[in-house]
Each structure stands twice: as C-alpha cells, then as structure tokens.
C-alpha cells in the first residue's frame, strides 16, 4: 500500500549535523522515495496549525519555541507503508524509552528534542502534507 507521510527533521537534528544520518535511514528503506524536501525556518502560524492538537498542554509553548529555534528539514516520504514505517524508524516520543536502533533511541535524551516528526496516521498525513506542501502533494 503506497502512502505519503510528512516528516520534519527538528531544529536539534539540523543543529547537531544529523540530517544525513536521519535521511540515510529513510533512504535505505527499499522503494521509499522523497518527492519533496526543503530546509526552512517555521513560523508561528504554521506551527500552530501543525501542533494544534497539543494546545493547552504544559509542553506546548516550549515545543513551539523549540520548533521555531532554527531551521528544520521538511520532507515528503512516499512508499510502501511509510506512515507506520517512519514512525517505527523514529521510535516512541520519549527518546530514553525508545529502543536503540531507532532514531530517537540512538540520538535523543530529552522528550522535546526528539529529532524527528512523522505523521501518525493517514488522516494526520493528509492534513500535515497540506500545511507544509500546499498544492504540491
Ligand atoms: P510524537 O512526535 O511522537 O507524535 P506527540 O505526543 O504528538 O509525539 O508530541 C509532539 C511533540 O511534542 C513530541 O515529538 C515532543 O517533541 C513534544 N512532546 C510531547 N510530549 C512531551 C512532554 O511530555 N514533554 C516535552 N515535550 C513533549
Ligand atoms: Mg504526534
């Protein structure tokens, strides 16, 4: 089942020079492709749309500040079961709980700075792709 998902390499991944490391793991999955990708600094409006579901939670404001703190890489990944697949590559939200071998498990320590965002369902992917690549996917 071919799908598309929205991935963000968060500011910590870019600052730490891990773009290649993380992209390499995605690229090496058989048959997956990257139809769109860009380095950009996210504005408040885009972040509010993207993380609207978390508004009001204690981590929301620090998350917004962190996500706007430097450039990110936004990309579309396409291929067989990419929505579940990139979530598996990323690992669970808390990097200490994430297994070694996953992106968050290998490189993260604190929950907020967990290196990567990946859409969590078909509905989220459709919504998020429209926010970050309107008219392109
Ligand atoms: P996800 O990125 O694994 O889907 P979500 O629950 O959707 O996790 O949370 C979005 C992002 O908010 C997380 O990736 C992480 O950066 C941050 N976050 C989530 N929960 C916490 C928390 O308890 N403390 C600090 N930051 C958090
Ligand atoms: Mg999420």
CATH number at residue 60: 3.30.70.141
List the domain range (segments joined by +) for residue 126.
Answer: 2-132
56 exposure class (CB count in 10 Å sphere: 0-12, 13-18, 19+): exposed
Structure tokens at 40: 């950009």
Task: Encode pLDDT of 43-80 as tens digits.
Answer: 999 999 999 999 999 999 999 999 999 999 999 999 99
Q: Which candidate in 117, 118, 129, 132 is catalytic?
A: 117
Side-chain half-sphere CA neighbours of 130 within 13 A = 6
Which residue lies with its CA nearest to atom 1 of ligand 1? 93
Return the ligand number nearest the Cα of 61.
Answer: 1
pTM strictly above 0.85:
yes
Residue 137 within a domain: no
Token pair 């380095």 is found at 39
* pLDDT number for residue 135: 85
50 is known as an active-site residue? no
Residue 28 lies in a domain: yes
Residue with token string 């079961």 = 81
**117 in a structural domain:** yes
Tell me how many domains the chain contains: 1
């Amino acid at each position: 089942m071919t799908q598309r998902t929205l991935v963000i390499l968060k500011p910590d991944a870019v600052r730490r020079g891990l773009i290649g490391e993380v992209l390499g793991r995605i690229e090496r999955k058989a048959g997956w492709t990257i139809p769109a990708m860009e380095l950009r600094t996210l504005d408040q409006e885009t972040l509010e749309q993207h993380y609207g579901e978390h508004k009001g939670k204690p981590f929301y404001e620090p998350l917004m500040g962190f996500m706007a703190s430097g450039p990110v890489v936004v990309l579309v990944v396409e291929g067989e079961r990419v929505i579940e697949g990139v979530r598996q590559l990323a690992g669970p939200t808390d990097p200490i709980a994430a297994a070694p071998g996953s992106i968050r498990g290998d490189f993260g320590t604190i929950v907020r700075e967990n290196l990567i965002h990946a859409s969590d369902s078909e509905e989220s992917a459709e919504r998020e792709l429209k926010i970050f690549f309107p008219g392109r996917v």
